[in-house]
Structure 1
């Protein structure tokens, strides 16, 4: 899809891009001079130069495109860089800047990795640089800035924040709300949310309760693994609105085996302790 994209060019939005496709300009190498449609805000030289730069960036630089695409249009880069993509989600002790990081989950479509405060958080710094694209839900506003503050680093990866991509498709209400609307079943973790994740960490720290930590990791990892399903669903719904739906639609991914399962006894105990 990326090579069929023109709306990363200044002056070309989705409506003009659609007109280009209808006029037979369906990929970069089919660009015509003069352009078959009116392009009021872009000069000929700017467009040709940007298309040349796009071709050069195609194999190695996803940020070239995400920096030029609207937040709800970055789904277009996904197939091109899928092999360099990680899905990411974090858990913390709260939303304030002085909150502590508790766990991180990372999934690259094949392997689940997880990091726990007090055990192996620094391993995250070795692993994150293996990827060029990060897929999150609200990560641009929360997860990524939080990680950058916590580790005192800059994560210069290209980002696909599904909050914006899904909202454009009509799916809102947070990650769990979007999952429900798209038929993703949480099973034993139904009803567990970000606040409950804070309580799970508190239970682990206060009582050295490994079942609470494992339940927290199960929750964090499921958030992360589900991002792949949401990413593919969002991509396919968007691609269905283009002339390329038949050839570019992606198959659904198989969920990986999960290293942890929620301890429902632990969940009920915490609910009673905090009268939830």
Structure 2
């Protein structure tokens, strides 16, 4: 969809873009070949310059160029061209307050490999590993995950960021990641009902009681979040094609599920769910 996009050209919005599509100008190459007869000279020269640069930037693998030019609500359009440079990211913490709470685990998935980071084990490896990617996909990451990571590690997350909270919201899917998954038919299996508060309790059970199964369950939950982000990204991309001339032409196949290194421990989940152990506060440090 990126190479069909004209909204990153100054003066071209959604309506003008649709007009171009209606005239058979379905991509950058079409514009460069056909627009001489249909587009006013001054604005055409600017558009041609930007589209030539756009082709160069795609070939160079540089999503930042489009991050600065595209309206934020259209950043999803870059996904197929830069999928190989994309990581799906999610963190778990001891609470919501970035100043007082800690990161407990981080999950990172690039569509092939799953990486996980645990406080007290390998958490400090994350800042270097994230540098391998040019695009990150999160859910509510602009508000939560990225500010938390930047504050915690004292780093800057510079990657082009597709936050699915806003992409899905625009499509009518609201109410948090788990609710969006449910609405879109994604089944969490044994992790159904486990949420952010539950993840705090899992970490506390691991730290305070030495329950290794609680950590495994927390990692299974964290990793399922990032694996499902890829599914949601593809679904959102395909849904956004509806109503364009490219519906059915550019749709992406659904990703296959990777091998999952951790699985939820149901006895631990049931113990916490039924109040068999309570030892953490969601608002502060454990």
Could you tell me the TM-score, scaled by structure 2's length? 0.90
Task: Give SS of 2:214's match.
Answer: helix
Task: Give SS of 1:171's match.
Answer: coil
**2:131 corresponds to 1:129:** yes
1 CA distance for matches of 2:89 and 2:43?
39
Partner of 1:160: 162
Partner of 1:22: 22
2 CA distance for matches of 1:10 and 1:143?
32
Partner of 2:72: 71
Structure 1: gaps spanning 5 or more residues = none
Deviating runs (4+, > 4 A) in structure 1?
none
Name which of 167, 172, 175 aligns with 2:174. 172
Let me know the Cα RMSD of the aligned residues: 1.8
2 CA distance for matches of 1:146 and 1:274?
25
Task: Give SS of 1:104's match.
Answer: strand
1 CA distance for matches of 2:64 and 2:251?
23
Partner of 1:212: 214
Partner of 2:49: 49
The alpha-carbon deviation at position 30 of structure 1 amounts to 1.7
2:90 touches 2:225 (CA, 8 Å); kept in 1?
A: yes
Partner of 1:33: 36
Task: Give SS of 1:80's match.
Answer: helix
Partner of 1:226: 228
Structure 2: gaps spanning 5 or more residues = 280-286
Could you tell me the TM-score, scaled by structure 1's length? 0.93
1:88 touches 1:107 (CA, 8 Å); kept in 2?
A: yes
1 CA distance for matches of 2:68 and 2:203?
36
Task: Give SS of 1:102's match.
Answer: strand
> How big is each residue's C-alpha offset from its partner over 1:97-123, in whole Å with a ceiling of 9 and x where there is no partner?
221011000011111110000000122
2 CA distance for matches of 1:141 and 1:68?
22
1 CA distance for matches of 2:13 and 2:190?
43
1 CA distance for matches of 2:71 and 2:93?
29
